[in-house]
Amino acid sequence: MNDLISLMPFAAGVGIVIDKASPDTATGHLDWAPHLCTAGGAMHGGALMTLADSIGAACAFLGLPDGARTSTTTSSTQLMRPLLAGTATATARALQRGRTQIVVQTEVRDLEGRLISLTTQTQVVMT
């Protein structure tokens, strides 16, 4: 998984870790840290969206034909509750894999399993 995260230097720099990934599902996490927070000590929504986008992209990327790549074209996130400590864990699932686009949905949960955010994104397939 280290090879996959190395393809995403921004995500790696933020501290995102890909735990496992396949064309159907991917999981990863981001530990709470003060520099990732907004007022009140909650993890910034941008950090949560970066986690969801990165794990979703890993899921979309795997299983592509040789030489193909993807890019996010749309992304919609619902932020449900703040993450005030611990770890945000993301699970991405491919909802649809087509010839020209892939739709992925990513749930981000806290260590107690509570839903923090839900992101649905479309990735264009570029050959």
* Domains of the chain with CATH codes: 2-126 (3.10.129.10)
pTM (2 decimals)? Answer: 0.94
Render each residue's pLDDT in the chain as its tens digit; 127 residues.
668 888 899 999 999 999 999 999 999 999 999 999 999 999 999 999 999 999 999 999 998 988 999 999 999 999 999 999 999 999 999 999 999 999 999 999 999 999 999 999 999 999 8
Helix (H, G, I), strand (E, B) or coil at 6: helix
57: left (phi over 0), alpha (psi -120 to 50) or beta: alpha
